[in-house]
A and B are shown apart, each in its own frame.
Chain A
């Protein structure tokens, strides 16, 4: 580290910020103090200390100690007890942050179950035990509290510290590791709604509006809100709402209002903390679980993407000879038309013929360019782009792409387009791939069987729930013995080929929320049909 003026200033600023944050948290904590015993219900500074020491670095424990000392002196404790408490608090934060930073694989995003567990065990538990032990000892020895008995004093201190960490630290930790971009407005509305509902619920439950008998069971009404948030949002939003719920609950309970005020102080505390603790733990764990599931889904999607791309490259390789021929035809036409035009130039009476030839040259050049464009698009490995697409247009493109292959095997391909098909939201290139696969399979089946009728018929149609594409061939049909495992990877009836085509195709169609089925026609030959649903939640995952 270079000790430039700028670096020193920056470091000083940060230290000052930590100092101020701890002090502010202590001031806030004072609001929850039980006036009778000079003890706080929840001690947020412990959470701030742990989170900031973890995020900014272990050296910030110094500022924590200093801030803590100032706080203690402000509460009229003597210099020595204040020093001892400061040491205890900073040591607690230091130990917790050290474990999380250096000893364990912990991520402040709290988006894995292990992160939540580590934060509770290595962070909250260790840190709170150290600081509360020192605090209780000092307070007991120095007589700073009216509380009777050391063990119960320790218990109250520990719970306050532990809850301070559990409720405050997650918010600071996750806030510091924000990765999401801007939210679309429906998501903003959803978040605002959740916030309003939670706030209203908490205020209603904890204020004196309702009798305790009604308020206590109703206090569980915050759970669905938190569960909703956990499933739909990340740990950051969960811990933010948690902070709101806890603030309301603790401040009202501190003022002897709400459902947890009818028993002995100890029982009340236990009830409130158990309630908040379980709320915090369950919603944080659920948020982590949801994040893990989302990541697994994303990974599966990426995997399919990779696999699909490999499949397209391999299909393109197999079609290369046919496509070269397909390109050669317009090229030959262009060359011959041009040569004929050059000859016609000498004859001024042939203007019309010359014009026609030039038009044909342009047309053939466009045709070549189109083939090249289709080829490029087919093997491109771009960002997934789900968009509304016309299935008929997609079928046309694929027919152009596979034309050479179909012709080479002397197969007659017919297409029956349904009129006025609704658009479907798809990853067009992947659906093209499915279709290329099905057409090539159909052609291969016919070529291998050597039947006299060599026909492949494609039909698009509208079904009750989506758009269907059928590819029927005049081959021998599917052997019932292999039908059940037809879509398994590496199952193939061809002499060449990996047997991945159908398995990838089915995965692609299913990722679009559709289905791919096979059946045999009565007059012989197989029919592969896939349906793409109109409205698809699943399309998000299609990639």
Chain B
């Protein structure tokens, strides 16, 4: 049955209502101002992307939103839609729809969630789509299928895996430029290099604040809960280049500084400091609450919030963006990721690592054992691979997860004597 504009209006309203409820939900912590700004910015962007007059470009995680902002279009980080949908509890129906359509339950739930949402036609419609070759195989594939369904062009960015090859950066920069010009052509939005330089400056400013926040979070006891901090990644992937990101990252720093000055700790009497790798369950906060609030095992840092690149040169936007992309630890031989994890363990005085392994995420799960073994050669830090879904709550069992976390916490307790 074709969906009418009235249906879409209803969907929008429904979504909006759910989102507002979510923002007002009781929390186990009082959110930082930066976090509130972040949530509002994400919400605003989503609502704007529903407007018929908006130019919306669907992008996957690592497509630099800067090139989209430069065209005055909205970058819609489409996997994050699944996360938001999980948070407002409409994800199960999306996943059901994708499974009825024939998608395997063994594949990534983020992607399947979006597929389901598209089948139900509750997504803001794209004017163009851009995907990257990493992290994962499913991503460009479903983007291409979407492109056919929405009858819009799909551009795909090939990110070389061999980051140290001299040609990698240049070929990536060339592609970025080509895609930007193509996007300008198909959306009818003029491309202005000076505007892109301005946007690059915004990213530089925001990443300086985020780097500073990374420094501040080394503080023991931790000034911020991991449960709250991990939510920054959605905004980070989507809002690079925007003024909002500068604002929220500045606020984050100011508040962290203030908390440290005043001696405010996220968790009283911190028992353990954890490093959390991969994303989080979006359907509830139970796992984090249990660890951080009940067990006082604070998630001191999260791998997804790592800033690994240097300031960009606004005069060379495409080359700089290429370098930023290539600085991702998940690209290249696994030793690169191991190196970064080791560094985070040292920087954040980590007692144990939780490596979250959602069933369908091949890209991340494939690194778990390799990184674990690599680390063992360098340091003695307990490493726990936690099978847990990010957005699919259908098989989630609070008790089971707790039992497994308890076993890990016991190891940490024994180790610390």
Say whether A associates with B: no
